[in-house]
Structure 1
Amino acid sequence: MQRLVNKTVVIIGASQGIGLAMAELMLSEGAKVIAVARSKDKLEQLAQRLEKLDIYPLDITQTDNIKPFFVWLQKQGGLDVLINNAGIMEPKGFGFIKSDNLQQSFATNLFALFPLSQFAARLMSKKGGSIINVSSVLAQKATLGQAVYSASKAGVEALTKNLALELAGQKVRVNAIAPGSIDTSLLDNLTEQTLAQTLADIPMQRLGLPQEVAQLALFLASNESQYITGQVIAIDGGWSL
């Protein structure tokens, strides 16, 4: 039985990695999926492979472009699920962090979630819906070189809980997924030594798979999680223990 029939799901950051795995799974569960990403070329290539996928190129750091997207979305029939999955990681020692690093990371990982969630909540206000933010176990776990990324993701978790409180009366659920080390291109910036040490610290002794994160997102998007809101759920092989 397909769990997302007649639901419209928007996935921000859907052109690769976890977002792509989510798009594929949500489509297989009967959802109308709209993939959003910065790269138009990547989205068009993805649409050729996934025939039923709708796409919308959007740089979420250019916040003036977010409202037109939701106006377009309303004309398409509304919204049931928003997944805020876009994120960037640029490891730097604390002494080498510059204002450009801060602005780029926070604009993508945190600041854009405010207008995205505001407009999504307005579309969901009459019938309810689910907002799923992708955080990271690094929001709670100190790691060398990850001060900027960790701080931005900690903001995502605080925002998730506050939104859940404010939107509960509108039947809009807000939760966060906190992946650990998942086998995606986000790990490309890590040195072999850092990656080896990370694997050694994970009780399950392996990287997670994008498809495993997608399964958790499916649960939070579906009616099976109707009484769950304001939660941050780690999926990390026990790394955060």
Structure 2
Amino acid sequence: MLKDKVAIVTGSVRGIGKEIAMLYAENGAKVVINYPMHSMGQEAKAVVEEIEEKGGSAVAICADISNFEESKALIDKTINHFGKLDILVNNAGITRDMLLLRMTEEEFDQVIAVNLKGVFNCTKHATKVMLKTGGSVINMASVVGLAGNVGQCNYAASKAGIIGFTKSAAREFGQKNIRINAIAPGFIVSEMTNVLPDAVKEATTSNIPMKRYGSMKDVANTALFLASDLATYITGETIRVDGGMAM
């Protein structure tokens, strides 16, 4: 579905980002594995090797996407290595959960810097390149950005911001053959959810019509669809992958 396409997936050393990168590679894309710190270099190299062992093509590039210049360098290095850019997945994100009255300014600023400003940074630099060829930008939002959540004012604000950013950017680039969409995952099986007490899991699944958590593959499949030619008339959309939780 993505034969000969070039894709950057930010924050793709583990979790949903890695799942998307692996699926893109399986579908013919050349993938940039992005990671924020040099200390994660070996982990990123392992993902590249895993892709190459399966016959795919990938390269690892270190860049802190909350930094404007490092984000530009990420795009520039991708062009230097692969010659073009077709797909950008703004997946990188962090949490600093705390009740509002206890949340520090630093905890708020850190989340906004990575989750929201990082999307601005990468999208701004990537779309300059895509103006010549067209492309697809996929932003990772969250159902928390739609419904809110206790202890996540910073995270919810960043994800709600991503949804607004996605709609505005989609309007700006619609005539330029650049599609910009968002995915809003709900509860997804991950390292974080695996350690939740059974009582918490039962309480959260009771609010999900499908009565189960989703998988990272569910999110990756949606990212594959939005990046592919099956979605050429879809832009400015936020697709919930949440089992119906935020209806």
Compute the TM-score of the two structures, normalised by the length of structure 1. 0.94
Structure 1 stretch displaced more, 220-229 or 71-80: 71-80
Residues 139-154 of structure 1: pairs in structure 2 closer than 5 A: 139-154=145-160
> Which of 205, 212, 227 lines up with 1:206 in the alignment?
212
Aligned mate of 1:224, from 230, 236, 243: 230
Distance 2:194 2:109 in 1: 21
- Tell me: CA distance 1:94–1:188, structure 2 relative to 1, closer, same or farther (3 Å): farther
Q: Which amino acid aligns with 1:59?
A: D
Output one character per residue of 1:16-57: Cα deviation in whole Å (capped at 9) or x when no partner.
111111111111101111111122222012122221321111
How many percent of aligned residue pairs carry the same amino acid? Answer: 35
What RMSD over aligned residues (CA atoms) do the two structures have, in Å?
Answer: 1.5
Give the length in aligned residue pairs.
239
Q: Does 1:101 align with 2:107?
A: yes
**Gap change, CA 1:93 and 1:194, over 3 Å in 2:** farther
Q: Which one-letter code corresponds to 2:69 in the other structure?
A: D
For structure 1, list consecutive stretches of 5 or more residues without a partner in the other structure: none
1:158-199 Cα deviation digits (max 9, x unpaired): 000000000111110000000001112344786665443212
Question: Which of 112, 122, 125 is the equivalent residue of 1:116?
Answer: 122
Number of the residue aligned with 1:179: 185
- 2:62·2:74 contact (CA, 8 Å) conserved in 1? no
User: 2:96–2:108: 8 Å Cα contact kept in structure 1?
Assistant: no
Q: Does 1:70 pair with 2:94?
A: no
Partner residue, 1:47: 48
Residues of 2 paired with 1:148 and 1:236: CA distance?
21
- In structure 1, what is the equivalent of residue 3 of structure 2? 5
C-alpha distance in 1, partners of 2:206/2:170? 35
The AA in structure 1 aligned to 2:70 is N
Letter matched to residue 66 of structure 2:
T
The 3-state SS of whatever aligns with 2:33 is: strand
Answer yes or no: is 1:83 the counterpart of 2:89: yes
Q: Describe the SS at the equivalent of 1:96.
A: coil
